Amino acid sequence: MNRDTDHFADELADLVSAEDFLDYFEIPFDARIVQVNRLHILQRYHDYLAKQEAGKAPDYAAWRGWLLRAYEDFVGSSAQQEKVFAVFQKAEGSSFQSLSSLTE
């Protein structure tokens, strides 16, 4: 799909949920997977975009590809396995924090 960059950016600004993004980019999805992982999918999508598209104008095909990849990361996996958020990253290592370190 070929989209004008300004129009594309305006349309993106109106998207608010994982379902909105998946529908916009015409990516078929399992609602059960999205329901459980919506924040993780959007964060992974953001992470992919930040790494690959920094400084580039929005491009529908590229952005669709990164969203598809982010969604597919959770099709056969889980939030605990993917460790998108710090809480899951810390759970793997030691997360002990002494009481005295909290008051310093």
Tell me the pLDDT of the chain (104 aa) as tens digits. 446 667 888 898 899 999 999 999 999 999 999 998 999 899 989 888 888 766 677 788 989 999 999 999 989 876 666 666 555 555 455 555 566 666 65
Please state whether the predicted TM-score (pTM) of the whole model is above 0.95.
no
Domain membership of residue 10 (yes or no) is yes
Domain membership of residue 84 (yes or no) is no
Tokens describing residue 60: 């529908």
CA 26, CA 82: separation in Å to the nearest integer?
A: 24
Q: Which domain holds residue 62?
A: 5-77
- Which residues, 6+ apart, have CB-to-CB distance to 8 below 8 Å? 58, 60
Domain membership of residue 104 (yes or no) is no
Domain membership of residue 29 (yes or no) is yes
Domain membership of residue 19 (yes or no) is yes
Structural domains of the chain, count: 1
Domain membership of residue 98 (yes or no) is no
